[in-house]
Amino acid sequence: MMHQELEIEFKNILKEDEYHQLLTAFSIGDDKKIIQENFYFDTAGFSLKNLGAALRIREKNGTYTLTLKQPVHRGLLETHQILTMVEAKQMLEGGPIIDGDVSAILKTLSINPKDLTFFGSLKTKRAEVEYKNGLLVLDKSYYLNWSDFEVEYEVTDEVIGKEIFKELLNQYNIPLRKTDNKIRRFYYRKKQILLGEERS
C-alpha cells in the first residue's frame, strides 16, 4: 500500500553539549527515545543522489518501510511502501527492489530498480516532542564508526516554521549551521573513509 506525504523540515547539526542542553530543556530522558535504523540504496553511479533523491528502508519497532524521497518545490515528497521482514531481508541481501509504487516511480526517473544496491546503514536514537504546532526531533546518529547530533523541526507551514526554528536556536544560543541530510552525511563519511581522510 502506497502512502505519500510532503515533508517540510528544518535541521541543524548540534555539538554534543548543545544536544544535551536541549534534552534537559525539554525534559527528555532515555525512556522517551526510540531506536530506528535506516538502510540506504543507490546505484553504483549515485543516480538517486545526483537527483537529490534518496531511497531507504527504515526499521522501527519491528516494522520495515521502504521510502523514496524526491525534492519538490517546497520540501520533499516521500513515498512510503510497507515491507514484510522477509522482503526487507531479501533487499538487504542483494535482492531486487520489491515491486510496487516505489519501483514504478523509480522507472519514471529513468532508474532501473535492478541497478540499485545496498550501501550501508545509519542507526539513530530519536526523541520527539510536540512544539508550537510542529514536531521537534532530537537525534543522535551512528554510522561508519562515527556519530553526530542533530535537531529537526517538522512543520506544515514553511514560513512560520522557519521563524519558530530560528527563535528556538537563538533562545539556546545555538548557531545556525549548514546541515546536510543524513544520507548526504553518510555518503560524505563513506567517501572520507575510501579516500583515507577520516575525520577525527
What residue segments make up the domains of the chain, in order of their start? 2-194
Dihedrals φ, ψ of 106, to 5°?
-55, -40
pLDDT at 106 over 90: yes
Residue type, 104: A
The label of the residue with cell 521502504 reads 66
- Among the listed residues 47, 187, 67, 55, the one whose alpha carbon sits nearest the alpha carbon of residue 109: 47
> In the CATH hierarchy, which top-level class contains the domain 2-194?
mainly beta
Q: Please, are residues 77 and 69 in contact by the beta-carbon 8 Å criterion?
A: yes
Q: What pTM value is reported for the model?
A: 0.83
Convert the pLDDT of each residue in 40-99 to its tens digit.
999 988 899 889 899 999 998 889 999 999 988 777 899 999 999 999 999 999 998 999
Distance CA 46, CA 38 (A): 17
Q: Read off the C-alpha cell for 35.
A: 531506536
Distance CA 90, CA 139 (A): 28
Rg (alpha carbons) of the chain, rounded to whole number: 17
